[in-house]
A and B are shown apart, each in its own frame.
Chain A
Amino acid sequence: MVETPRPKTSLLRTFRRPSVIPGFGISFGYTLTCLGLIVLLPLAGLVAKASGLGLSGIWEVATDPRVASALRISFGVSALAALVASAFGFLVAWVLTRYRFPGRKLVDAAVDLPFALPTAVAGIALASLYAPDGLLGAPLARLGIQVAYTPVGIFIAMVFIGLPFAVRTVQPLIAEIDKEIEEASATLGATRLVTLTKVVLPPLIPAVLTGFALAFARGVGEYGSIIFIAGNLPYVSEIAPLLIVIKLSEFDYGGAAAIATIMLGISFLTLLAINLIQAWSRRRFGYV
């Protein structure tokens, strides 16, 4: 797999800036080879499959009632979950950076739990907790709220996996806030609430939006932690990634590729939005 350094070193030299450090050819070549074979070529295969269907073919799949319903559930519930994750994520980030309390480091470490816990494990744990006879499901059922096997269950799982993104994007920026600005604001007579909403919050908005977008994108694509609690009823609690798995098991590669392309397209737009937010933030505040 190792690509031999090209004999035309003159071309390589004009490509990169001269340096005494060796190993550019081999490390760059190896990087491109791996990236090409493992990531780009397979993704290109997906694009090829989807473009074989044409726009009309993809549209036909997208407007199939079951697919449309799954896409609506995936994107709709994920947006809602990302919203809640962003709000609580901000609170958690604020509390962890600004306040000192016993067990703070432990709580800080626990935030990364959804990154470390395999999604299938989180999935069956959530399903058993929120099942009608579960630890949380039973009291909720008495209140008339059914979580498992409904979109509410999907929502819970998406909040679980989205939370670390919301916390970790805002946390470093809260830590960087210059306390003197807040003191100046207070000395000039602003109440704490006014200082928070007019001085502290505005520069943090881009980071909150980035966290929202990351949590949203993760929720849309998530599979393992959702399918156990969702119950997967078509038109009610069936998510788009599960529909891809179903189509693949039916050997409907075209249909699966179409759904995947739609999901990738919307995720790409989300990433684009993040980059635009960050570019705007850099112009406005001088940092991301």
Chain B
Amino acid sequence: MSEIFSPIAVPAAKPAQVASEGAATRAILIGIAVAFLALFLVLPLFAVFTQAFSKGIGAFLDAFREPDAWSAIRLTLTVAVIAVPFNVVFGLAASWAIAKFEFPGKSLLITLIDLPFSVSPVVSGMIYVLLFGSQGLFGSWLIDHGIQILFALPGIVLATVFVTFPFVARELIPLMQEQGTAEEEAALTLGASGLHAFRTVTLPNIRWGLLYSVLLCNARAMGEFGAVSVVSGHIRGLTNTIPLHVEILYNEYNFVAAFAVASLLAVLALITLVLKSVLEWRFAGELAHGRAH
């Protein structure tokens, strides 16, 4: 008599074990996954700091005695201070229009807002070169009027806004759609003005999602390399952002300084990750679902 084919033989194992792998298999799979992540993701981050401090703390600090480093830090902060609030205002407007109203062509509009995510960073910068470069569409007009967009702050801001364009909107649209319009309608019926309802009802509902998207948007704005590299012109002390300054130092074989400046961005990335994770753990219910970037 074979017991293998008898369903009565099965209940000996608990359901939880039946629907999972054995302890040994689990341990091996966890081991492979963790080792893979450690090798591919964590080790590069670790390398940034070991290289930055490889010649001691003095050499590390020397990288920040350069005026060029400070002008790069200033420029990066300036760009972020313009680009991030712009995208917040855009994201709020877009999500308000898309989530609170019904109109035809909505999914096309969402796709178009997402478009910058599927464009290569280099192409994102290049489209502004085609428009504003000396041989570009508006090039001669800009030269005649003495307006400098390319190889200057406006071009860098434009390229940064382009690559970070979808960040706030794509977090807030699904979040606002989930929340519906009932609460705003209640506020309006009770006599609140539109702006008042937005400030006291909508904004508190989306605050964690907004903060979440601002974090990611800011990290990308400060770290963008490809798009900014195309429009910046790499003028030392003038149009170099932190990532571009890192590139120049690295290409000059000034490795310690390159990694020292890069470690600033790595710290920013770590802070972003920590805050992002805290938001995901504590306010999961108040963030948009489907967190595939």
Could you list which residues of chain A lie within 8 angstroms of chain B, going by C-beta atoms?
A: 15-17, 19-24, 26-28, 30-31, 34-35, 38-43, 45-46, 48-49, 88, 91-92, 94-96, 98-99, 101, 105, 107-129, 135-136, 156, 159-160, 163-165, 168-169, 172, 179, 182-183, 186-189, 192, 195, 211, 214, 217, 220-224, 228, 241-242, 244-245, 248, 251, 253, 256-257, 260, 263-264, 267, 271
Contact = CB atoms under 8 A, between A and B. Distances in A.
A223 to B, nearest CB: 4
Given A118-B225, A125-B45, A165-B293, 4 more contacts: A24-B97, A38-B165, A42-B162, A136-B43
Given A27-B96, A253-B136, A128 B255 contact: yes
Contact of A245 (B21, B122, B262): B122
B79 interface: no
Nearest to A50: B130
A108 B15 CA distance: 27
B141 interface: no
A27 B222 CA distance: 27
Given A221-B119, A260-B126, A23 B34 contact: no
A172 B291 contact: yes
5 contacts: A128-B259, A129-B43, A192-B20, A224-B226, A257-B126
B82 interface: no
Interface of B: 4-5, 7, 10, 15, 18-22, 26, 29-30, 32-34, 36-37, 39-45, 47-48, 51, 89-90, 92-94, 96-98, 100-104, 109, 112-113, 115-116, 118-123, 126-131, 133, 135-137, 158, 161-162, 165, 181, 184-185, 188-189, 194, 198, 216, 219, 222-226, 229-230, 243-244, 246-247, 250, 255, 258-259, 262, 265-266, 269-270, 272-274, 276-277, 281, 289-293
B243 A121 contact: yes
Contacts of B225: 118-120, 123, 223-224
A30 B36 contact: no
Which secondary structure dominates chain A's binding surface?
A: helix
B120 A220 contact: yes
Given A35-B113, A42-B131, A120-B246, A109 B277 contact: yes
Contacts of A228: 250
